[in-house]
Structure formats: structure tokens, C-alpha cells
Amino acid sequence: MEVEGSWREVFKGADSAKNTCTDVQNNPSIRTSAVETSALCRSLPVSIHQNRSKEGESPASSVPSIPNPFPELCSPSHSPVLIGSPLGQGSSPAAGTHVVKVFGEDGRSRSLWVPTGAAARDVCRMLVQTAHCADQESWALIELHAGLGLERCLEDHETVVEVQATWPLDGDSKLLFRKNYAKYEFFKTPMMFFPEHMISDSADVNKGMTSSELIQNLLNSGSCPEIQGFLQVREPSRKVWKKVCFFLRRSGLYCSTKGSSKEPRHLQYVADLEDLNIYTVTNGRKLYGAPSDFTFCIKPCRNRARWRDMKLLAAENEQTRTCWTTAFRLFKYGKQLQCNYQLSQFTRRQEGTGRLGVKHCMSEASLVAMDFSGKAGGRVIANPREAQHAEQEEGQAWRKKTALRYSLPSSCSGSRSTPIHQTQPWFHGGVSRGEAQRLIEEQGLVDGMYLIRESQQHAMCFVLSLCHKLKTKHYLIIPCEDGGRSYYTMDDGVTLFIDLLQLVEFHQINRGILPVCLKHPCVRVAL
């Protein structure tokens, strides 16, 4: 039986296949051995193009491509977020990119693909988007050397990859992502950051100007007044601290060898600010035997983080330390800090406008105060004072209605096992007094930063921790009853609140017994 030619003809074309089927029917000798051939003749062959199949190509390549509905979750080229391992399950990073690992305040981390020249503000913007932060204001990257107890806030323009290149390979250095409200606070309240007794009057151009005028003029020009004052300094290779008078000028840091004398023969050059970074020291008493808790240090930028390269300094209070660290930043970066501040303000306004939308802004601008108490219908309140008074009365009436609604018996009130304050970002549970102070200090000692925590000394009570003038104050919130209803108060029952949320909302617009209104909640984000 010669069926070899028939098999060849089947794959050449449809006409050849039909001829082969006719030959099989006319020749009975080959009919029994060509059953499979007749089966193939019932359907036409599929033509295979040469450019579709190549040697070495995987079978999956012939499958029709389906567009990925979530490309940002799979492709590092479209998203800065790194998924899985550093190479993202077989994917390779783009040229000129690096892996940056950032930790949140909950101890978890997130890895990002960032360009070589990515600045700290760019990395913060990536983290805000990927972590779905509620707001985009005052987020910062913190450089932390836990073993040495050093930390500092990266400036917005600093290159993150270059900062990581100075870290020791076997160290515990890392980047933290958290709030820092005090980054540019000295532009808003300069007199709090530069006390009058610390401003040097050595320059002739400063004569005839008050301290506030001098500071404001220098900040507007991107400069800083010369700072002077006594600091405790740790002597090299010794554990002894010595009190020395220092002078911080544009040309560098100097110390006096004779008291507070400013004569050139008594001034000793210490360091050049261009080659230094300034860090705050945490737990300085335990690690370095510092005489106070307000310790900071200066370290060369290019050197690895080693204790022998640091110059440790200790101030007598937080205001003095903040003044020195702020002056270091201004003298080193100058006009760049003001540009960073202006850019952050512009970005925040632009994002706020984008969230509101043009139509919403137009509707807000067209709103007017109305009075519907009369019989003739509503009238427009043209007097601004009368409009403000009507707004206050309406707010008080709303609070009375809210208090009455909460005080009424309800069948569903018993099912609310979780109080409303436990879902708020400013509530931190049962943290201690020292931990509350540490949290506020880490996020910037600015007026109005606050958190609420459970009291560890008084049962069923809470504590409001509030920052004012670079100090953290604590106010006890006591539960009480009035007319058979439960309330909270901070002023012995003069002002009553149905819950902690109402207490916070009230003090965000009214100081009450507090020295300042509540402004910035101390929050912790999880990456």
C-alpha cells in the first residue's frame, strides 16, 4: 500500500485533499488502510504563517494577548511600588533605578523603584499615593541610625540614593515615613525658633534693627542671623562633657577659648557647614552620658555613620536645641529651604483646588448668610458681625440637638460596643505619658499638635496631650454626670461634652481652657 503520497497531499491544500479522497473511494485495496486519511479530509487545514512560530518560542506566546486591567500592580515600569522580591517575580528594573526600602511607624516596610536622582519629596509623594494617606501635608522621610541614636529629617531636595550611599553596609540605618509639621514652621513663627538672647550682634548691618525685624528680613532673603550661646560638648575620646561658648556664622562653626569672648584670637574654628549634617540624638543620656535630654550632633556628610566621626553637643532646653539645628539648616542650604517651603505651599494649594473642583469653588464663593427667622421669608445678612453671631448660634443649637439625640434611650445604643473615639486618628489608646511626648516630639513640636490617650493613673479617664511653645502639656478628661446623663469635661463641669469627638471638634475652633486650639492630630500611618 502506497499511502505516503496521499499523506503528503493532504497538507498541501484543499484541492489536493479532495483528489486524495476520490482515489481512496475508487481503489478498494487501500480503502481499509486509509480510515484516518478520510477523517482528515472532512475539514480544511489551518494555514500556519511563518512569522507566527519560531524556534525556541514558548507555546504560551501563541495565545492571544489579553490587556491587563491593573498594570500598575504588576509592572514596575508603570508603578513605583515594588511587588514581592526586589526583582518583582522575574521583572527587571529600568535602567537608572534603585530600590529604596522605607519603614512605617508600625514596623512594616515598603520597597519602591525610584530613579537615581529622585528627591525626598518625590519618594514621599509615591508613598502618599501607594499608602492611601488621608492627607498629603507635612509628610517627610526620616534618616534613622538606631544603634547610634541619631535621626534627622531629609530636606525635600536631597537625593535619597546619595543619602543611602553614605550608610554602613552592616549597620541598622533605615528610612522612616512619618509626619513632620515643624519642617518649615520657623518661616511662620520665627521668634519662637530664634530667641533674642541667642542672636549675635557682631555684624555692623544688624545695628539699629530689632530682633524680630532682623530675623524676618534674613529669612525672607534665605539667610539666618548669627547664633551664639553656651553648649555642653563631649571632648574627643573622653566621656567628659565641657561647657563652651559657640558661634554659628555663615563661614562655619566656631568656639571661644576664653569664656564668651568674640575676639579673633580667642575664636577657634570647629567645622565647615557645607560638609556636615546635623542630627538629633535620642536617648543621649544612656548612650553617651549626656548631661541633658536635648542632645544633637554634627557629622560629616560623606563619612559612614560612626561614633568617632560625630561631635556631640547638648543644650539646656528644647528651644535652644531647636534654634541651633534650625540655624544649621539655614546656613547650609540658604535660599533652597525657602524655595522648598514655597513649593510645598504651592503644591498643597494646587492639590486642595483639585480636590474641591472648579464648580465646588464657584458654589462656595456664591454662598451668603441668610436669616429665616422672620415671617416675611429669608433675608440676606449683610453685616459680617451679625453673620458671625448667627453662625455661632446655629452651631450651639446643633450641639444641643446632638446632645439630646445621644442622651435619648435607643435600642441600638447597646449594640455600639466600640466608642466612636477609638476610630479617630488622634486616639492612641493606652500609651504612656513618655510615649505620648515622644510621638509629639517626633512629628514636630508645633503649637496645636495633640493626641488623646487613656489615663494610666485614673480609671475611666482620658488625657489630652497638647504641644504649646515647644513643650507638651497634659490635660485630664474626667467623666461626669449631669441630670442623669454622662458627659466628659476638662474644667470641672463648666463645659460638658457627650463624647471625645465633640470635645475635639469644640476645641478645634475654641481654645476654652487650653492655651491654643487643637490644630494638628498626631497620627501614625501603616505602610
In sequence order, what DSSP letters do the residues of 391-451 get, joined into one string?
HHHHHHHHHHHHHHHHHS--TTGGG--S-GGGGSTTB-TT--HHHHHHHHHHT---TTEEE
Does some domain include residue 526?
Answer: no
Kindly state whether residue 70 falls inside one of the protein's structural domains. Answer: no
Give the CA angle between residues 303, 305, 309 to the nearest 5°: 65
Residue 155 lies in a domain: yes
**189 and 168 part of one domain:** no
Q: Which position has the grid cell 486509509? A: 34
**Tally of domains within the chain:** 4
- For residue 306, the domain's CATH number is 2.30.29.30
Residue 394 is assigned to a structural domain of this protein:
no
Residues 165 and 192 in one domain: no
Structural domain that includes position 167: 88-179
**Claim to verify: residue 329 and residue 461 sit in the same structural domain:** no
Report if residue 404 sits inside a domain: no
CA separation for the pair 247, 198 (Å, rounded): 10
- Contact call for residues 198 and 227 (beta carbons, < 8 A): yes
Whole-model pTM: value is: 0.68
3-state secondary structure of 385: helix
Asked whether residue 311 falls in the same domain as residue 203, the answer is yes
- Give, in order, the Cα–Cα distances in Å from 81 to each of 73, 116, 141: 8, 15, 17
Q: Are residues 228 and 308 in the same domain?
A: yes
The string of DSSP codes covering 455-498 is -SSSTT-EEEEEEETTEEEEEEEEEEEETTEEEEESSTTSS-BS
The verdict on 34 and 99 lying in the same domain is no
Give every CB contact of residue 302 below 8 A, 6+ residues apart in sequence.
166, 275
- Do 209 and 321 belong together in one domain? yes
Cα 109 to Cα 115: distance, rounded to the nearest angstrom: 19
**271 and 127 in a common domain:** no
Considering the domain architecture, whether residues 226 and 305 belong to the same structural domain is answered as yes
- Return d(Cα 453, Cα 447) in angstroms, integer: 19
Residues 310 and 197 in one domain: yes
User: Is residue 344 in some structural domain?
Assistant: no
For residue 510, the domain's CATH number is 3.30.505.10
102 in helix, strand or coil? strand
Residue at 357 is within a domain: no
- Could you read off the pLDDT tens digit of each residue along the chain, which spans 527 residues? 444 444 444 444 444 444 444 444 454 444 444 444 444 445 455 554 444 444 444 444 445 556 555 554 444 444 444 433 333 334 455 667 889 999 988 888 999 999 989 999 999 999 988 877 767 778 999 999 998 999 999 999 999 999 998 888 888 899 999 999 999 988 888 888 888 888 875 444 445 666 677 677 777 766 777 899 999 999 877 789 999 999 999 889 999 999 888 898 999 999 888 888 999 999 899 999 999 999 999 988 877 767 778 899 999 999 999 999 999 999 899 889 989 988 888 887 776 655 544 444 434 445 667 776 665 566 777 787 777 777 777 666 655 555 554 554 443 444 344 578 888 989 999 999 999 999 999 998 899 999 999 999 999 999 999 999 889 999 999 999 888 889 999 998 888 999 999 999 999 999 899 999 999 999 887 77
Q: Please report whether residue 77 resides in a domain.
A: no
Please, what sign has the CA dihedral across residues 189, 293, 307, 154?
negative
Mark whether 239 and 110 lie in a shared domain.
no
Nearest to 192 by CA among 318, 45, 5, 292: 318
User: Same structural domain for residues 158 and 21?
Assistant: no
